[in-house]
Structure formats: structure tokens, C-alpha cells
Structure 1
Amino acid sequence: MAVIPKFNASVIESISKILGDTSNGFTGTEIAKLLYESSIEDIESTITKWRRINAALENKQNIDNCSNNILAFIQNSLNPAKHYDNEEWFNDTRNKINKVLSFEGFSIGENGKIEPIKKSNTISESKARASKLKESLLLRKVHNDVLKYCKEELLVDNYFHAVFEATKSVADKIRERTNLTSDGATLVDEAFSFKSIPYLSLNSLITESEQSEQKGFMNLLKGLFGTFRNTTAHAPKIKWKIDELDALDILSMISLVHRRLDKAIEAKKMYEGKI
């Protein structure tokens, strides 16, 4: 690894406080082992855990005139093999560390490896690069269009606008595939109603079961627009609260809708011989 310039003292202190958290962090013995594995001298073994880590990291950085061993310590501390039975602690701690590391232009991945990133200059940028919401959605393999339409909001964990933008993306896709210009429930009826040849169909619409599936999907879309898009469009943000778990579930449902839309048959175009 190339020589990495010294970290700001406040960055080292914040990292030390996160890894030295007395409530559920490392034991004193574990800290000693991690410092040894990272070739860092344990110079103050009798003081509180975070101050012990901070003293050792600052001392090593001053000796080396670089921060390479600090990154080695973080990487050793967050080796996923060490935390296979405590995934919640690992993810939470890694998220906190990444918020701090981003100010020096680094991030530690789910695999425990340090990688360079664009350096943060503000707290908002720091939060963006360590967004728990985005990571959780990626772990759920959420549809790319959900991320594309609300990328900016997701990066700052703005749940309210993330749901709003993602829901709008569903209507956008329906209009794109049908060339219709309406919105909301009207758009759903125009695109999926099978009183005549529908613009979009989920199946052949021959059996009662297939027709029920189409009707159910139409009701799901109308409910999605009425509950989340129309509400967020008119309600002040402070009065319409969505927590992280709500956002994850709503965005996952929108992801499912996008997958079904991707697979929908363009029945009207086929009937008219346009495809």
C-alpha cells in the first residue's frame, strides 16, 4: 500500500470512540490483540478503552508520519470473520466508522477491506456515503429504477422524499411503455383495463385467475399512488413521518412493482402489429 498522509486528530479520536465504546465494543484483551496485529504499540494500557486506542493510534501515526497502520487497525477490528455471530454490531459500527473515514477519503466495505472514495467535506456528504438505507436496499437487491429515481434522497436518508420520488418512477415507467399522458388512478385504468385490448397485461388474461391477477395489480398501483405519492405530495414533511423500516418496506414493494412492469406484455402494440 502506498504511503497515506496523516489523519486529522479529530478523525482518529472519533474512530477511537467508536471502536472503544464500552457498552458493546471490544474487551481490553481484544484491544491489545488488535493493536499487536496492527504493529501498534499499546502505550497506555491502563486508561479507558477509547483513550487507550486514541493514544496508541496517534503515537503510531507520529512515529510513521503516515496513517497506514491506523487503516490496518480499523481493517483488523472490522474483519467480518471476527463478527460472524454479531452481524448487527458489525453493520452498525462499520456505518459509523465510514461516516468518519469519508472525511479522509476512505471507506470500509462489507468484506472488511478499506477502499478509497471521494473525500467528504461536510457532515451531509459523510452521511451520504455511509447511508444505511441505501446499503439495506442493495442487500435486498432492490430494482435499479428505484435507486435511479431517488438517488439523491437516498444518499442523505431522506425517507419522505425517497418514497415520493420512487413512487413517481412507477407512473413514469407506465407512461414510457404506453405513451399515455395521464396520471394516478386514471393512468392505471387506461393502461391496464381489459374491457378492450389493454396497453399492458401481466398475462394472457384468458382465465378468471389471470384476470384477477390483472385487477389485483391495478388495485395495488392505485393504492400505491393514493397512499404514498399523493400523500407525500400534499402533506408537509414534518406531518408525514416515515422511519427507516417503513421506507425499506415501501421501496421494496415499489421494486416488486417495477419488476412486474418490466415483464408486462405490451398487448395493444402487439395487437396493432407495432412490435
Structure 2
Amino acid sequence: MAEQVFSQGELEAIATALGDTSEGLTGSEIGHLLASIKMIDPTPTATKWVRLHNAFVERQNRAQNRRAILEFMRQAMLPARHVKRPERFEPMRANLNRALAFSGLAVDAAGELVGVDQVKTLPEAARRADELRADLVRRGVHADVLRFCRAELVADNYFHAVLEATKSIADKLRTKTGLTEDGGRLVDAALCGSAPLLAINALATESQRSEQSGFANLIKGTFGMFRNPSAHEARILWTMSKEDAEDLLSLASLIHRRLDAAK
């Protein structure tokens, strides 16, 4: 009987949870953990979640089982590993449990991987994700936003899909500039000042400079809505409608398009 493996969607979700910019493992932690369990690190300079995803895919494809990935999660969630940053443990655990929702696994409060009843709402979650994607495709939403229309991100409501799309904006800013900052500091360093690293127009007139400044403020506002310290509370309290999600994901799409065209 063949051993269990994770689907490609599950691997991406696990990697995204563990490699989250603000709540996940650091780059050095990822390198140490991969080395400690002798997992090949095929793209060590990639974005954290991409680096993890590629490592997981390489190992699972080669071994045809998920044992090394399970061990990576066990090691990553050891409470002792989070002594210096205890505030990130619960958000990381919540992100990882959402990624594992359809795998019959969860990380408990002690950091242990335990078996749980598999989520029963997979057809409903998949239907919601498909409907969201179809609506956004009709709107012509950017491909970098469409990838967040996944069942595990809309199983409870649409908040997490929008949150992950918002994080992808920061990832794109870092990729295009080589910066490592996050949030408002990242926007200031990338888009603000008299000679910004990224310009969405020629910056030749007062109107163009105002557009650049407004675009920077738009991204800051988007980050502030989802990525400030109160976001953990918002995840619990904000029951987001499909209509709100579609509007906010369309906004994320606009930002992605302008960043793609920025010089």
C-alpha cells in the first residue's frame, strides 16, 4: 500500500504558513532545519515560502512519502524554538493548522502533530473557492491574486484569502527591489522619496508625483487594514462576505498590475 503524500496545494499551503513573512520562520531557521533533517535546499535564495515549497516538492517526489515534511513541521513547531519570539507561535500554529485542515492533521498547543477528523466541508470549501475564482476571472483579476482562491483559505470565510493576497504585494515589492523590510517601512523604501526605487510613472510633473505618493499610501492603507498587530484579532472577528473579498482582491490585483509595470 502506497504511503500518504501531500497534494501540491497542501504543500504550497504548508510552505506559505511556515514561511510567512511576519509570522513564520526566518531564513536562517529554514536553512538550519532543512540541513538538520538532511533535506535538499534547491533554491536557497528564493522567497522563504518558495524556498520551502521547492524543498518539500523535491523531497516528496524523490521519496514518494511525506515523512520528511512531517518531521520538518515537528521540528519547526517545537515550543523551545520560539522562546525568543513567543508571540509568533500561536499565529504560526493557526496558519499551519489551516494549511493542514484537509489532511487530517493538526498542531496542538504543545507543538505536536496530532491526527484529527478531516474537515468535512471540503466540497463546500472547494465550491466557494471555485465560485470566487470564476467571479475574479470575469473581472480580469491578476494571476498573482487568483492563486489565493483555494479551498483551505476560504473554508471558514474569505478573510484569509485576502490576507494572503495582501502579503503577496509585499513579496512582490521585495522581489522587485531586493529590500527586506515589511509593512510601511517597505513601502517608504520602495516607493517614496524624490528618487524611489520603483516608479509607476515618469515623475516629471506634480500630478505624476502626486500619483506616486497616492499609490504608496494606497498600499500602506491596504497593509494597515490586514497586517498590523491587531490582525490576529481581526481574523477571528471579521466575517468577510464574498462581495467584500472580491472588491478587496480586485484592489490587490490593481496594485499588482501597477507594480508589474513600475520602472
TM-score (norm 1): 0.48
1:176-210 alpha-carbon deviations (Å, 9 max, x no partner): 00000001111000001132x21100011010011
Q: Quote the residue 1:199 is aligned against.
A: 197
Question: 1-side partners of 2:143 and 2:189: how far apart?
Answer: 26
Cα deviation, 1:112-144, whole Å, max 9, x if unaligned, reads xxxxxxxxx974331243222222122212111
In structure 2, the residue matched to 1:185 is 184
Change beyond 3 A, Cα 1:226–1:240: same
In the alignment, is residue 260 of structure 1 matched against residue 258 of structure 2?
yes
Q: Which residue of structure 2 aligns with residue 229 of structure 1?
A: 227
Work out the CA distance in 1 between the residues paired with 2:252 and 2:208. Answer: 21
Give SS of 2:196's match.
coil
**Conserved? CA contact 1:143–1:259, under 8 Å:** yes
Give yes or no for contact 1:170–1:257 (8 Å, CA) kept in 2.
yes
Amino acid at match of 2:123: S
AA matched with 1:126: P
How many residue pairs were aligned? 144
Residues 1:126 and 2:128 are matched in the alignment: no
Cα distance change on mapping 1:232 and 1:165 into 2, 3 Å: farther
CA contact (8 A) 1:167 1:225 kept: yes
Q: Following the alignment from structure 1 to structure 2, what is the Cα–Cα distance between the partners of residues 135 and 156?
A: 17
Unaligned runs of at least 5 residues, structure 2: 1-117
Corresponding residue for residue 40 of structure 2: none
Deviation at 1:242, TM superposition (A): 1.3
Identity %: 52
Alignment partners' CA distance in 2, 1:225 and 1:260: 16
Distance 1:176 1:202, change over 3 A: same
Equivalent-residue separation in structure 2 for 1:239 and 1:123 (angstroms): 23
Cα 1:140–1:215 shift into 2, 3 Å: same
Task: Indicate the SS of the match to 2:228.
Answer: helix
User: Where in structure 2 are the equivalents of 1:76-155 lying within 5 Å?
Assistant: 123-131=120-128, 132-149=131-148, 151-154=150-153
For residues 200-246 of structure 1, give each alpha carbon's deviation from its aligned partner in whole angstroms, at most 9, with x where no partner exists. Answer: 00011010011010000011011000012326732153312211111
Check the 8 A contact 1:163/1:229 in 2, yes or no: no
Residue identity opposite 1:134 in structure 2 = R
Equivalent residue number for residue 113 of structure 1: none
After superposition, give the CA deviation of every residue in 1:24-69 in whole Å (9 maximum; x if it has no partner).
xxxxxxxxxxxxxxxxxxxxxxxxxxxxxxxxxxxxxxxxxxxxxx
Contact 1:163-1:250 within 8 A present in 2 as well: yes
Tell whether the 8 Å contact from 2:157 to 2:239 is kept in structure 1 after alignment: no
Q: Which residue identity is paired with 1:255?
A: S
Asked if the contact 1:133–1:157 (Cα under 8 Å) also holds between the matched residues in 2, the reply is no
2:248 maps to which residue? 250
* Whole-angstrom distance in 2 between the partners of 1:150 and 1:176: 22
Partner in structure 1 of residue 239 of structure 2: 241
Q: Measured at CA, do residues 139 and 155 of structure 1 come closer, stay the same or move farther in structure 2, by a change above 3 Å?
A: farther
| CA 230–220 in structure 1, closer or farther in 2 if over 3 Å, else same | same
1:165 and 2:172 are equivalent in the alignment: no
Structure ID, larger Rg: 1
